[in-house]
């Protein structure tokens, strides 16, 4: 297990965040809690790059479909009427394609972020995947309004401003995938003095 202070994670400002000019606000929130940005870049991803970023495992795809079915149930929509099926696996495949369409629609800002429990902290700052369920005070809760029910009716992915790695292993994999050979920097924030 690595040192919790040295944990590193990956965050991406998605096309909706970049186009709405929220990159600065998102960076401000990360820095405000004491996390430090160790790599930062604007990129226009290819379909392959996004396709390789999101898992292809059937259980991950199934989970995407289940998120749709859960919000359809919550808001009283009929999946068969809207999407032609209530099979979570089939819906997951549709959602994954919409997600690639969305993620390649404009540039994204990628970041590697280091700090105390960085993975969990950044997920907490991002908030729930569905903006309709994300608490106020989180990035998604404060700046977005969307749900799978709304998005899938328009045959698109949920616009939720950011992607953040779920685990440290995923973060390491994603940093390598997005930054390739670019240098990940390191430096002491003045806050680091507090821990010494
Ligand atoms: P998170 O981004 O919070 O880790 P997931 O990994 O489950 O969430 O999903 C990846 C992305 O796919 C989400 O951030 C969102 O943009 C989109 N998404 C997830 N589920 C759905 C869905 N049911 N319908 C449309 N888009 C979805």
Summarised one tens digit per residue, pLDDT across range 10-48 is 999 999 999 999 999 999 999 999 999 999 999 999 999
Cα–Cα distance, 39 to 2 (Å, whole number): 20
Report the first-to-last Cα separation within the chain, whole angstroms. Answer: 21
Q: Which residues contact 27 (CB under 8 A, 6 or more apart)?
A: 37, 111
Q: In the structure, which protein residues have their CB atom closer than 6 angstroms to any atom of ligand 1? A: 64, 67-68, 95, 99, 129, 148, 151-152, 157-158, 160, 163, 166
Ligand 1 pocket test, pick from 15, 63, 64 with the greatest ligand atom count within 8 Å of Cβ, gives 64
What pLDDT score does 1 carry? Answer: 52
Pair 44, 106: CB distance under 8 Å: yes
The beta-strand segments (E) located in the chain are 8-13, 36-43, 108-114, 162-164
**What domains appear along the chain, each with residue ranges and CATH number?**
1-44+107-196 (3.30.70.141), 45-105 (no CATH)
Q: Whose CA is nearest to atom 26 of ligand 1?
A: 157
| Residue with CA at minimum distance from ligand 1 atom 14 | 129
Is pTM beyond 0.75? Reply is: yes
Report CA(129)–ligand 1 centroid distance (Å).
Answer: 6
Which atom from ligand 1 is nearest to the alpha carbon of 96?
A: 12
Q: Could you give phi then psi for residue 164, rounded to 5 degrees?
A: -135, 135
pLDDT tens digits, residue range 91-140? 999 999 999 999 999 999 999 999 999 999 999 999 999 999 999 999 99
Q: 35 C-alpha to center of ligand 1: Å?
A: 24
Q: What is the dihedral of CA 132, 16, 60, 45, to 10 degrees?
A: 180
To 5 degrees, how large is the angle CA 185–CA 189–CA 195? 120
CA of 4 to the centre of ligand 1 (A): 27
Among residues 53, 117, 163, 173, which one is catalytic? Answer: 163
Query: Model confidence over 140-194: pLDDT tens digits?
Result: 999 999 998 899 889 999 999 999 999 999 999 999 999 998 899 999 999 888 8
Per-residue confidence (pLDDT) for residue 149, from 0 to 100: 87
**Is 185 among the residues known to form the active site?**
no
């Amino acid at each position: 297990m690595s040192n919790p202070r040295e944990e590193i994670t990956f965050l991406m400002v998605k096309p909706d965040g970049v186009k709405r000019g929220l990159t600065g606000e998102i960076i401000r929130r990360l820095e405000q809690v004491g996390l430090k940005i160790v790599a930062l870049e604007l990129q226009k991803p290819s379909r392959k790059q996004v396709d390789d970023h999101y898992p292809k495992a059937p259980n991950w795809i199934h989970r995407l479909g289940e998120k749709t079915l859960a919000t359809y149930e919550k808001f009283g929509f009929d999946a068969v009427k809207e999407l032609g099926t209530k099979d979570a696996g089939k819906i997951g495949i549709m959602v994954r394609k919409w997600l690639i369409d969305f993620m390649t629609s404009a540039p994204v800002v990628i970041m590697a972020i280091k700090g105390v429990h960085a993975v969990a902290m950044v997920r907490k700052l991002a908030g729930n995947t569905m903006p309709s369920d994300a608490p106020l005070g989180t990035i998604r809760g404060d700046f977005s309004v969307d749900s799978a029910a709304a998005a899938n009716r328009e045959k698109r992915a949920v616009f939720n401003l950011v992607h953040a790695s779920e685990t440290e292993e995923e973060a390491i994999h994603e940093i390598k995938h997005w930054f390739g050979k670019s240098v990940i920097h390191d430096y002491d924030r003045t806050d680091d003095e507090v821990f010494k």
